[in-house]
Structure 1
Amino acid sequence: MSHDYIHQNRRLSQSNASWIQQFACEDIDCLIICRGPIRKEVMDVFTEMGAKYSILLSEKDSIIYQNALAPELRLISDPTRIHRVPDYTGASKEERDQRIQQIIQIAKDNGHNSIFAGYGFMAEDESLVRAIEESGLTFIGPCSRTVRQAGLKDEAKRTALAADVSVVPGVDDLTVRTLLAKASREGGLDVIAKAHQLQIPDGASDADQAEALLAASYQALVDVISIDEIAAQAEIEVAKLFDQQPNNRIRLKAIGGGGGKGQRILVAPKDYPGDHHTQVKDAASKVPALLREVLNEVKATGRGDNKNVLIELNIETTRHQEIQVIGNGEWCLTLGGRDCSLQMHEQKLLEVSTTVESLQRAIDASDQHPAQQEALAMDLAILERMEDEATRFGSAV
């Protein structure tokens, strides 16, 4: 905790400015429920801020990898600050709901007033955030409404489209399409709803009714469509995209998860032998198996799980840029971007901060190098556009 470039004294109560003192965090007593490097970073920052914390420890951390002790565990000498659970999320919706309640109870039993879930995975689980809010504890992160609209990738894409924000072309409503196709075969959505003792709203469009029926099924922990039916519909949708874009690969992406998990890429039809029809058919035939892999990887195969999967054109030549957004429900602004293009196996190795000001300075300093200046000017234009779209998206959620 002594590296000058990394560690700082963040105890804001020691500031001479009363305005800064009001942001002091010494009253935080947080249960950290993420793992890995993020957990270590959070522990360091909380220590620097003077905040108290405890952590969850799963069997995967403490038993399976018992000879590879996580470095953050070496920093905790008080065993009462380590709370053991079988795993962090559970393998099904029922287990996840049980784990959420267990986490909340652990926090309350040990006097914690807040919970931090890191980034991705559980931090993007609306049910976790909502349960924490309802328990009276503080979730350090976005509210449950924002998590629903921005955390699940399908909801996020729909929100983005409504806010005129650019998205990757593809299909974001696979489960709705699957249910509508099933309804056309079995006599309508009403028949399916009655078979599962569920209700759907009157007067809505077919797509809205299907969406409502799916939402009701998640709440009731029943499946109105099977994984086999979803996989079959996914194969149809992928074949349609491949027919239009035979030179492009397609990515299957789980709506939850993160860190590169829950994704598979389909080989483009052009790489298969035969005529166009045969190429498309063979390329799309790989979908069912890969879709099952995606759902298994993010543990979304349980009864009542949301099994929607995004189908997107794979962008082959791209840079991974992220925009930092902050807001409070009334206003929203951006704090520049991060270029995360240097990756290995879709895991970030390096993040480079980018701002309008820094790029403009770089442009001004490269007046003797026209090609470099042109490239930087393009970077600046892209960043400004992305920040503008990010502000609209942030305001929408």
Structure 2
Amino acid sequence: MFRKILIANRGEIAVRIIRACKDLGIESIAIYSQADSKSLHVKMADYAYKLSDDPIGGYLDIDLIIKIAKESGAEAIHPGYGFLSENANFARKVQESGIVWIGPNDKVIANMGDKNVARALMKQNGIPIVPGTDPLNDKTLQEIAEIAKVMGYPVIFKASAGGGGKGIRVVEREEDLSESFEACKREAKAFFGNDDVFMEKCITNPRHIEFQILADSYGNVIHLGERDCSIQRRHQKLIEIAPSPSIDEGLRKKMGAVAIAAAKAVDYVNAGTVEFLLDEYNQFYFMEMNTRIQVEHGITEEITGLDLVVRQIRIAGGEILELEQKDIVFQGYAIEARINAEDTSSDFAPNPGKITTYYPALGPSVRVDSCIYKDYEIPSFYDSMVAKLIVRATSYDLAVRKLSRALSEFTIRGVKTTIPFLQKICDDSIFKKGFFDTSYIPTNLPHLIPQEQKDEVDEVAIISAILALKSAEGK
């Protein structure tokens, strides 16, 4: 087993990896920007090394991170999610430096990171894929329009190197084709440094279902069930559920077998996720493979009792996966709600700032993965997610009730958060029934936006009353 692991990330996922290292008796090495100097992951790690004053650039500086890893005596690097976690060049350079990469090798990352290569590999191995094209950048707009007409609207443009909901444009009619194509290329270039864009037939209002995979270096591959990620806004996940409340055991076994076949097709090693689109007729299609730990991995941990980050480390250390598919037993339902520092009344604009009050939810089978604390200043440079609230119960209905209760107890003040918005979802009859698809948020958004946040209103009222009293005393 490793003695020291460098965590090439920040925030909540860095904290999560540090905890896994402590559980295994491994020393953790944090890296941080000046903006993150007071971050929880810096406080918790055994060692911490400053990158630079650049809030973003340091976390993307491959050579600097490897240099710090060598100087600090790290034997392995865990990339977490985001930043360089799916950067094949980073994985290759780490491996070439003699440091262990905790994840699949650079070839797998490169193949699965290129959506066109991934689609071709899946098709060659009999994995169902959504009808689509190769990159269209060398095509004229007229040629693209002809392809879209044959494919049938709606269609969807996707960045070949995309991920995380970026570089995606749905096109409902030919008049919007040109603008959407150019916008998708610009976003692809900005986020991924690659403006290659391809087109797929848009599966209308599908369910977004992903399967968690574990694979070792000896050919053993299992799945840990599915997560339903259909509750999303602008392709960004908000709530995830394991297992899906709308999938029966027969479909679960069928999709799970295909997910394992997809992993084996690319010689996958470590933890990964195979994502599918599931239509109204229960036909499913490969969408992509995420070659890293997922934000929502915690709900799979809750229903299986397995620590996925610990498993990642152990597999990277050369251990054999002693589990077989028959050993995986699911216990109840788990739901994760992502809590973001955002102003829902202003189109979910990020709302960084100082946290003046912080009381996370507690109780049986309630878990909070977070990187914030009272008086912490949320930086404006990073993703707005500040906490993940995870609950588990014996049934979906009870899990929804527990999530609603936990959200009502969760108190964050000083910044606006999505907690009231998430509470509205829990109270919604469609969500309670468990039969929803990716159109749920766009369709129901108007009545899910809270009119006002009660705790903020009460605070304003209290402050106003105090000021009025002082004013009256001074007269």
Q: Which bracket does the TM-score occupy, shorter chain normalised?
A: 0.5 to 0.7
- In the alignment, which residue of structure 2 is the partner of 1:72? 41
Amino acid at match of 1:259: G
Cα distance change, pair 100–242 in 1 and its aligned pair in 2 (3 A) = same
- Sort the Cα spacing of 1:148 and 1:53 in 2 relative to 1 into closer, same or farther, 3 A: same
| Conserved? CA contact 1:333–1:391, under 8 Å | yes
- In the alignment, what sits opposite 2:232? 343
Partner of 2:129, secondary structure, is: coil
Aligned-residue Cα RMSD (Å) equals: 2.9
Q: Which residue of 2 aligns with 1:283?
A: 176
* 1:225-270 alpha-carbon deviations (Å, 9 max, x no partner): xxxxxxxx2744541343135541x33222335322232333x11x
Q: Which amino acid aligns with 1:325?
A: I
SS of residue paired to 1:351: strand
Does residue 1:43 correspond to 2:11, yes or no? no
Indicate conservation of the 8 Å contact 1:120/1:258, yes or no.
no
Q: Separation in 1 of the partners of 2:142 and 2:11?
A: 39
1:244 to 150, 158, 180: 150
291 and 113 in structure 1: CA distance in 2 versus 1, 3 angstrom threshold: same
Deviation at 1:115, TM superposition (A): 0.7
Task: For residues 346-392 of structure 1, give each alpha carbon's deviation from its aligned partner in whole angstroms, at most 9, with x where no partner exists.
Answer: 3323332239xxx8xxxxxxxxxxxxxxx65xx33332222121122
* Residue in structure 2 matching 1:326, options 214, 223, 228: 214
Runs of at least 5 residues in structure 2 that lack an aligned partner in the other structure: 267-475
**In structure 1, what is the equivalent of residue 257 of structure 2?**
388
Q: Offset at 1:38?
A: 1.9
Aligned length: 264
> 2 CA distance for matches of 1:51 and 1:156?
35
Answer 1 or 2: which has greater strand percent.
2
Which AA in structure 1 matches 2:79?
Answer: A
Q: Deviations over 1:172-196 (max 9, x none)?
A: 3335xx2xxxxxxxxxxxxxxxxxx
What is the CA deviation profile of residues 305-329 of structure 1, one whole-angstrom value per residue up to 9, with x for unaligned ones? x442232233231111111122236
TM-score by length of structure 1 reads 0.59
Distance change >3 Å, CA 121–CA 329, structure 1 → 2: farther
Taking every aligned residue pair, what percent have the same amino acid on both sides? 28
SS in 2 for 1:171: coil
CA distance in 2, matches of 1:324, 1:295: 26
| In 2: Cα distance, 1:163 partner to 1:396 partner | 7
Structure 1 SS opposite 2:211: strand
The 1:253/1:108 distance shift into structure 2, 3 A limit, reads same
Please give the alpha-carbon distance, in whole angstroms, between the structure 1 residues aligned to 2:239 and 2:222. 24
Supply the AA of the counterpart residue of 2:208: H
- CA–CA separation in structure 2 for the residues paired with 1:51 and 1:82: 17
Question: How much has 1:139 moved relative to structure 2?
Answer: 0.4
> Once the 2 structures are TM-superposed, how far is the Cα of residue 129 of structure 1 from its aligned partner?
0.8
Residues 49 and 164 (structure 1), Cα distance of their counterparts in 2 relative to 1, 3 Å cut: same
Rounded to whole Å, the distance in 2 between the matches of 1:130 and 1:234 is 36
CA contact (8 A) 1:58 1:87 kept: yes
Match of 1:150 among 104, 112, 122: 112
CA contact (8 A) 1:234 1:288 kept: no
> Hey, what's the Cα distance between the residues in 1 that align with 2:177 and 2:233?
27
**SS of 2:259 mapped into structure 1:** helix
Selected match of 1:173 from 135, 139, 153:
135
- Greater fraction of residues in helix: 1
Distance 1:343 1:326 in 2: 25
Q: Where in structure 1 are there 5+ consecutive unaligned residues?
A: 1-24, 179-232, 270-279, 301-305, 360-374
Measure how far apart 1:335 and its partner are: 2.2
Give yes or no for the alignment of 1:262 onto 2:167.
Answer: yes
1:297/1:317 Cα in 2 relative to 1: closer, same or farther (>3 Å)?
same
Contact 1:324 1:337 in 2 (8 A): yes
Q: How many Å separate the matches in 2 of 1:47 and 1:136?
A: 23
Structure 1 pair 138–388 and aligned structure 2 pair: CA distance change class (3 A): same
